[in-house]
Amino acid sequence: MPDITSLDELSGQPLTEAQLQGILNQIDLDIANLVREGKLSAMPETEDTGAATDRAANLHALLAARRHYETLLRAFPSWEVSQAAAMLDPHAE
């Protein structure tokens, strides 16, 4: 499939809270896998394809993506519910 040259013909629905949480969970998993077992280093890693990747740069990119998706998730309306102690315990005076 060739690369697209414009976003004009793309359409879709806004992401749901569950989808955004799923994206955040995947990013958290990617971050955990990147930093565990000493895999995180500033030294470029060469893969079989010959492409070099910088794990520290990847971590920064994942953290930036996480901030972006977390901002989108926090934009959803939310409710904060609180009750007085007397309402929680009907026998309280």
What is the C-alpha separation between 56 and 65, in angstroms, rounded?
14
Spell out the domain ranges in the chain.
17-74
More confident call, 33 vs 68: 68
Full-model pTM: 0.62
N-to-C CA span, the chain: 70
Q: Give tens-digit pLDDT for 41-86.
A: 544 555 555 455 677 888 899 999 999 999 999 998 876 666 655 5
What is d(CA 22, CA 29) in angstroms, rounded to the nearest whole number?
11
Give residue 89's pLDDT band: very low, low, confident or very high (50, 70, 90). Answer: low
Among 26, 16, 25, 13, CA closest to 72: 16
Q: Which pLDDT value is given to residue 34?
A: 82
What is the pLDDT of the chain when averaged over all its residues?
Answer: 78
- Quote the pLDDT of residue 50: 47
Angstrom distance (rounded) from CA 24 to CA 3 = 26
Q: Which residue has the higher pLDDT, 16 or 81?
A: 16
